[in-house]
Amino acid sequence: MRHYGQLGLLPPSRIGVNGYRYYDERSLVAFAERRRETGVPAGPARYRRGLRAGA
């Protein structure tokens, strides 16, 4: 998930003082749905294409 966050595809809701990334439920559900739609395992490029296509 960190990799997707670094690409701007799944930014964390917040980052704790300990460096842990926290994600809200809405973001995680959207991420999981997108992964299912584009195929698992799907790399970031395929995920990004799915976002642009509006799938």
pLDDT for 16 equals: 95
Residues in the chain predicted with pLDDT less than 50, given as ranges, are: 55
Q: Which amino acid is at 17?
A: V
pLDDT for 18 equals: 95
- Beta bridge mates, 21: 15
Q: What is the DSSP letter of 8?
A: T
pLDDT for 42 equals: 53
